[in-house]
Amino acid sequence: MRDTLDPGYAKAAKRRATGGAPSARSSAAWLVSGLLVVGLLLAVAFRSAQAGSAGDNLARDALVADVQEVQAEQSALVESAASLAEQVRSAQATAGGELAQLTALEEMNALVAVTGPGLSISLDDPNAAGGNAAVLDRDLQLLVNSLWSAGAEAIAVNGVRLRVTTAIRQAGGAILVDNRPVSWPMTIEAIGDPDGIHQRFINTTGFGRFSTFTQLYGVTFDVIAVDSVSLPAAAQVDPQYASAEPTSTAVTTPTTVTTSTS
Amino acid sequence: MYAVIALIAGVAIGLLTTPEVPDWLGPYLPIAVVAALDAVLGGLRARLDGIFDAKVFVVSFIGNVLVAALIVFLGDQLGTGAQLSTAVVVVLGIRIFGNAAAIRRHVFKA
């Protein structure tokens, strides 16, 4: 290890000293061809490293573009589904009777856009950009559950309305609400009794935990009471296995719904 | 003099023609570059020591590149992955440091 020079050089020098030195021309030819190969190797390695990094960037950009395109498409489809559902509802409204009951059930299941007084919570986690977020999915779950227990009738996280089957969970660094990624900063809006919801919410564990986060990790957590917030409709539930029983009084027959909590 | 011209010519040819590197050759290229650096610094040191020999230089360069590539290939086949590549880089790195230090002593007398 200590002898870093190739011993061949010393041997060649000894051979030369005892006579039999190679001709100047042949040694120049060796040198030129050898260094030509070395230069070629360096240039090719440089080029291929450059091409490799450029290819990686291209692939990443293309993937990001794909994701954004598909997300835009999904938003458009959700909007068109909401407007179609609105048409169905206005047609039902003229019918009255049993269909009015259906409308009430749809309101309960977050299938219609709603407006009302309530709370608006601004959340921002400054550590999230660096990859070690202080706020995790379970904290958001606790906060949302605290809002429900404080008397909220409808909640949306960054414009994603919560419904019965909504899950808030984490996939890597991203937080998914109802399988749609939400990014920082977040706005959580809740509709509820304007006189009591703010007071009751302050007494919940969720509020306590986020107040601690503010002190420990610099998380932004502002709760303000608002006179009117509008929450969009949640995505429709697509029953894959449930179907209405084929009876003559189909409207009054309860539908068997088996929904797995995800 | 020829040596510098040849080196520049090699770099120029490589940059201008941009030969397509086949995929299977990809993992060997960085190792070959390290082996080439070792050979060049070794040659430079030998020249400063006054014992440079062109044939030894070329043969040791090609030999080092081939052996380094063989070890990397063996690592791939044995499933030790990048660990044998690391071994090659460590050994050649030590030699590069040693030769660079010797050149420094020649040039700066320190």
Decide if A15 is inside a domain: no
- On chain B, the residues whose CB falls within 8 A of the CB of A11 are 56
Q: Which residue stretches of chain A have pLDDT < 70?
A: 1-2, 20-22, 96, 247-262
pLDDT at A17: 80
Give a yes or no: residue A123 inside a domain.
yes
Nearest to A10 by CA among B46, B104, B94, B98: B46
Radius of gyration for chain B, computed over Cα atoms and rounded to the nearest angstrom: 16
What are the tens digits of pLDDT across the range B4-59?
Answer: 888 888 888 888 887 777 777 777 888 888 888 888 888 888 888 888 888 888 88
The answer to whether residue A244 is domain-embedded is no
CA distance, residue B54 to nearest chain A CA (Å): 5
Domain boundary among A108, A136, A153: A108
Q: Are residues A102 and A155 in the same domain?
A: no
> How long, in residues, is chain B?
110
Within-domain flag for A8: no
* A134 assigned to some structural domain: yes
Residue ending a domain, among A50, A77, A108, is A108
Residue A255 located in a structural domain: no
Rounded to the nearest 10 degrees, what angle do helices B54-78 and B83-108 cross at? 150
Output A249-255 pairs: Cβ under 8 A, ≥24 positions apart: A251/A98, A251/A99, A251/A102, A252/A98
Place of tokens 């984490």: A170
Domain that holds residue A77: 23-108
**Of the candidates A127, A129, A122, which has an alpha carbon nearest to the alpha carbon of residue A143?**
A122
Angle between helices B2-17 and A24-95 in degrees, nearest 10: 30
Measure the CA–CA gap between B64 and B53, rounded to whole angstroms.
16
Could you give the CA distance from residue B53 to residue B43 in angstroms, rounded to a whole number? 8
- Do A214 and A187 lie in one domain? The reply is yes
- Best B13, B28, B41, B55 member to test A by mutation, with max A CBs in 10 Å, is B55
Of B36, B58, B60, the CB nearest to A33: B58
Number of domains in chain A: 2
Residues of A with CB under 8 A from a CB of B: 1-2, 4-6, 8-13, 16, 22, 26-49, 52
Q: A243 φ, ψ to 5°?
A: -150, 150
Give how far Cα B90 sits from Cα of A166, A232, B11, B31, B93, Å: 53, 61, 26, 11, 5
Same domain, A127 and A223: yes
Residues A202, A127 within the same domain = yes
| Claim to verify: residue A122 and residue A194 sit in the same structural domain | yes
Contact A190, A118 (CB under 8 A): yes
What pLDDT score was predicted for residue A202?
87
**Tens of pLDDT, residues B70-104:** 888 888 888 887 788 888 889 889 989 988 988 88
| A119 and A226 assigned to the same domain | yes
Do A144 and A206 lie in one domain? The reply is yes
In angstroms, the Cα distances linking B33 to A49, A182, B7, B97 are 12, 46, 14, 15
Six token digits for residue B95: 């030699």
What is the residue whose two structure tokens read 């360096």? A42
Q: Which token pair is A4?
A: 């870093």
Whole-prediction pTM value? 0.47
Q: Is residue A14 part of a domain?
A: no
Q: What is the pLDDT of residues B60-78, one digit of tens each?
A: 888 888 888 888 888 888 8
What's the rounded Cα separation, in Å, for the pair A236 and B103?
74
Taking only residues 30 to 49 of chain B, the set having a beta carbon closer than 8 angstroms to any beta carbon of chain A reads 30, 32-33, 36, 39-40, 42, 45-46, 49
Beta strands A174-177 and A220-231 are unpaired
A97 with A117, same domain: the answer is no
Q: Are residues A101 and A126 in the same domain?
A: no
User: Looking at A108, A134, A166, which one is the last position of a domain?
Assistant: A108
Contact between chains at A8 and B21 (C-beta distance less than 8 A) = no
* Residues A98 and A254 sit within 8 Å (Cβ to Cβ): no
Answer whether residue A43 is part of any domain.
yes
**What's the confidence (pLDDT) of residue A66?**
92
Hunting for tokens 């070395």 — which residue is that? A38
In this structure, are A85 and A128 located in the same domain? no
The pLDDT score that the predictor gives to residue A70 is 92
User: pLDDT for A152-169, tens place per residue?
Assistant: 888 988 888 888 888 888
Same domain, A121 and A61: no
Q: Which pLDDT does position A69 carry in this prediction?
A: 93
Q: Count of alpha carbons within 13 Å of A142, Cβ hemisphere only?
A: 12
**Distance between the two ends of chain A, CA-based, in angstroms?**
61
A218, A158: one domain: yes
Rounded Cα gap, residues A81 and A68, in angstroms: 20
CA–CA distance, A141 with A135 (Å, rounded to integer) = 10
The pLDDT value given to residue A159:
83
